Every structure is written in structure tokens, then in C-alpha cells.
Amino acid sequence: MRVVVDFDLCESNAICMQIAPDIFEVRDDDFLYVLDETPSEDRRSNLEESVQRCPKQAISIEE
């Protein structure tokens, strides 16, 4: 699986970072960074929660 972020939609509100800090990080410049674009399958649950809870629906998963 692969993490995809639409940075045009992303507001860098860090909800995804709270759920999966090993995958997402909002830095001091207030931009979201994807730390692991291809996380292991055991991270799927957290990644799916990040997708669902993103208020701008900016995160998706590609298989």
C-alpha cells in the first residue's frame, strides 16, 4: 500500500500525525510531511483511521 496526500487540500492540522506519528509529521514550517510512503501492512489500521478522520479528505491509500 502507498500513502497519497493531496497537498492542495491538506490544511496541516496534524490529526493524522496524532494517529500515526511514524507516517505523518507536521513540522515547524506548518507543512505536512509523509515520513513513510509505503508503510508495512501492520500500520494499515492507523493509516485507514487517518484517512477517515482527515477533515479535508486529503489522504488516501493506493494499493
pLDDT of residue 37: 97
pLDDT digits (tens, 9 = 90+) for 8-62: 999 999 999 999 999 999 999 999 999 999 999 999 999 999 999 999 999 999 9
Instruction: Enter the pTM of the model.
Output: 0.94
pLDDT of residue 12: 97
pLDDT of residue 35: 98
CA distance 28 to 3: 22
Domains of the chain, CATH where assigned: 2-62 (3.30.70.20)
pLDDT of residue 33: 98
pLDDT of residue 6: 98
Q: Is 48 exposed, middle or buried (0-12, 13-18, 19+ CB in 10 A)?
A: middle
Strand-pairing partners, residue 51, are none
